[in-house]
């Protein structure tokens, strides 16, 4: 599925790799719209992991259909979804 993503015009220091996992049995829509001049929307299928890059201040909204319309299921801060890239790990010698 294609994500609609404009290039982030934010300091690269603030961009983080984030991950959301759809643990439900329903299709969900993940959306970020609280960052000025930037928008992201992606369909996340059941059991799918969605990796994306976003500012830590972004809020990921999760929508799921219910009663014939999309309902906001949860709102998560991207700061809480950051993937540990292992850069802080020290290699034993």
Task: For 6-48, write each residue's pLDDT tens digit.
Answer: 554 555 557 889 999 999 999 999 999 999 888 899 999 999 9
Dihedral sign computed on CA atoms, order 38, 18, 1, 64? negative
Segment 62-90, tens digit of pLDDT: 999 877 888 999 999 998 999 976 565 55
Residues of the chain with pLDDT > 70: what percent? 76
Query: Model's pTM, two decimal places?
Result: 0.76
Question: Which segments of 10-58 are extended strands (E)?
Answer: 15-21, 28-32, 40-44, 49-55
| Residue 89 φ/ψ, nearest 5 degrees | -80, 140
């Amino acid at each position: 599925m294609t994500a609609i993503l404009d290039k982030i015009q934010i300091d690269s220091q603030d961009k983080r790799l984030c991950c959301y996992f759809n643990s439900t049995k329903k299709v969900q829509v993940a959306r970020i719209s609280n960052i000025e001049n930037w928008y992201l929307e992606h369909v996340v299928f059941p059991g799918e992991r969605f990796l994306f890059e976003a500012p830590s201040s972004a809020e990921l909204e999760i929508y799921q259909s219910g009663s014939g319309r999309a309902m906001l299921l949860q709102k998560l801060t991207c700061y809480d979804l950051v993937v540990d890239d292992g850069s802080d790990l020290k290699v034993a010698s």
